[in-house]
Structure 1
Amino acid sequence: MENVMVVGAGAAGLAVAAQLKARGVDCVVVERGPGVATSWRGRYDRLRLHTTRRLSGLPGFPIPREYGRWVRRDDLVRYLEAYAERFGIEVRTGVTVERVKPGADGWSLRLADGSEQPARTLVVATGYLHTPAVPQWPGMQSWTGTVTHSAQYRNAEPFRGKNVLVVGPGNSGAEIATDLAEGGAASVSLAIRTPPHIVRRETAGWPAQMNGVLLGRLPERAFNAIAAAMARVEMPDLRPYGIDRPAQGLKTRLRTQRYVPLQDVGIVRDVVSGRVRPVAAVRGFTETSVLLADGTSLQPDAVIAATGYETGLRELFEDASLFDETGVPLVHGGAPARPGLYFTGYDVTLGGMLRQAAMESRVVARTIVVTGQR
Structure 2
Amino acid sequence: MTQSTDVVVVGGGQAGLAAGYHLRRQGLDFTVLGADPAPGGAWQHMWDSLHLFSPAEHSSLPGRLMPTQPGETYPDAGHVVDYLVDYEKRYDLPVQHGTRVGAVRRDGDRLLVEADTGTWRARAVVSATGSWSRPFLPAVPGRHLFAGRQLHTVNYRRPADFAGQRVVVVGGGNSGAQIAADLALDGHVEVTWATRRLPRFLPDDIDGRILFDVATARRRALDEGRGDTVGVASLGDIVAVPPVRAARDAGLLTARPMFPRLTATGIRWADGSRSDADAIVWCTGFRPALAHLAPLNLRDERGHIATDGTRAVGEPRLHLLGYGDWTGPASATLIGVGRPAREAARQIRDLLI
Asked if 2 retains the 8 angstrom alpha-carbon contact of 1:8 and 1:124, the reply is yes
Say if 1:57 and 1:354, in contact at 8 Å, map to a contact too. yes
Q: 1:260 to 1:120 in 2, by over 3 A?
A: farther
Question: How does 1:275-290 map onto structure 2 within 5 Å?
Answer: 275-290=252-267
Code of the aligned partner of 2:167? V
> 1:210 maps to which residue?
210
Secondary structure of the 1:185 match is coil
For the residue of structure 2 that corresponds to 1:339, the secondary structure is strand
Answering whether residue 230 of structure 2 is matched by residue 251 of structure 1, we say yes
Aligned to 1:229: none
**17-26 vs 88-97, greater mean Cα deviation:** 17-26
38-47 or 103-112, larger mean C-alpha shift: 103-112
What secondary structure, in the 3-state scheme, does the structure 2 residue paired with 1:355 have? coil
Check whether the contact 1:177–1:276 (CA below 8 A) recurs between aligned residues.
Answer: yes
For 2:289, which of 308, 312, 316 is the aligned residue?
312
Whether 1:264 aligns to 2:240 is yes
Quick one: distance in 1 between partners of 2:18 and 2:218? 28
Matched residues in 1 for 2:40 and 2:305: separation? 21
Partners of 1:250 and 1:197 lie apart in 2 by 18
Corresponding residue for residue 226 of structure 1: none
SS in 1 for 2:230: helix
Q: Relative to 1, partners in 2 of residues 1:296 and 1:280: Cα closer, same or farther, differing over 3 Å? A: farther
Q: Which whole-Å deviations, capped at 9, do the CAs of 1:56-79 have from their partners, x for residues lacking one?
A: 211111111346541210111111
Q: Output the TM-score relative to the length of structure 2.
A: 0.86
Shift of 1:212: 4.8
Tell me whether 1:371 sits opposite 2:351 in the alignment.
yes
SS at match of 1:356: coil
Matches of 1:350 and 1:250, distance apart in 2: 15
Residues 6/270 of structure 1: CA separation in 2 closer, same or farther (3 Å cut): same
Q: Percent identity?
A: 27
Q: Which residue of 2 aligns with 1:93?
A: 97
For 1:76 and 1:328, locate their aligned partners in 2 and report how far apart those are by CA, in whole Å: 30
1:94, distance to aligned residue in structure 2 (A):
1.0
Give the match for residue 125 of structure 2.
122
Cα RMSD of the aligned pairs, angstroms, is: 2.9
Query: Which residue of the partner structure matches residue 75 of structure 2?
Result: 71
Quote how far apart the aligned CAs of 1:159 are.
0.6
Where in structure 2 are the equivalents of 1:216-255 lying within 5 Å? 217=217, 251=230, 254=233
Structure 1 pair 4–52 and aligned structure 2 pair: CA distance change class (3 A): same
SS in 2 for 1:371: helix
The CA distance in 2 between the partners of 1:339 and 1:220, in whole Å, is 23
Q: Is the 1:328–1:346 contact (alpha carbons within 8 Å) kept by the matching residues of 2?
A: no
Distance in structure 2 (CA, Å) of the matches to 1:19 and 1:93: 20
Shift of 1:152: 0.5
Indicate which of 278, 284, 287 corresponds to 1:301. Answer: 278
**What TM-score, normalized to structure 1?**
0.81
The one-letter code matched in structure 1 to 2:346 is: R
CA distance in 1: counterparts of 2:62 and 2:218, whole angstroms? 27
Residues 216 and 105 of structure 1: CA distance in aligned 2, closer, same or farther (over 3 Å): closer
Distance in 1 between the 2:146 and 2:324 partners?
37
Deviation at 1:26, TM superposition (A): 2.5
Distance 1:361 1:284, change over 3 A: same
**In the alignment, which of 81, 87, 90 is matched to residue 83 of structure 1?**
87
Unaligned runs of 5+ in 2: 222-227
1:143 paired to 2:119: no
Instruction: Give SS of 2:38's match.
Output: coil
Tell me if the contact between 1:280 and 1:294 (Cα under 8 Å) persists in the aligned partners. no
Query: Partners of 2:33 and 2:91 in 1: how far apart?
Result: 16
Mapped to 2, the partners of 1:252 and 1:215 lie a distance apart of: 5
2:311 maps to a residue whose letter is A
Structure 1 unaligned residues grouped into runs of 5+? 222-248
Task: Give the Å deviation of 1:351.
Answer: 8.9
Moved more, 101-110 or 342-351: 342-351
Q: 1:16 — aligned with what?
A: 19
Partners in 2 of 1:219 and 1:358 — Cα distance? Answer: 15
Q: How far is 1:187 from its partner?
A: 1.2
Give yes or no for contact 1:147–1:303 (8 Å, CA) kept in 2: yes
What secondary structure does 1:142 align onto? coil
Q: Which moved more, 1:190-199 or 1:350-359?
A: 350-359
How far did 1:369 drift?
Answer: 1.3
Between 46-55 and 79-88, the greater mean CA deviation after superposition: 46-55
The change in CA–CA distance for 1:123 and 1:159 in structure 2 (over 3 A counts) is same
Q: Shift in Å at residue 310 of structure 1?
A: 1.2
Match status 1:164 vs 2:167:
yes
Structure 1 residue 132, shift from structure 2 partner = 0.9
CA contact (8 A) 2:153 2:283 kept: yes
Aligned to 1:225: none
Contact 1:332 1:343 in 2 (8 A): no
Is 1:52 the counterpart of 2:59? The answer is no
Task: Give SS of 1:303's match.
Answer: strand
Letter in 2 for 1:251: V
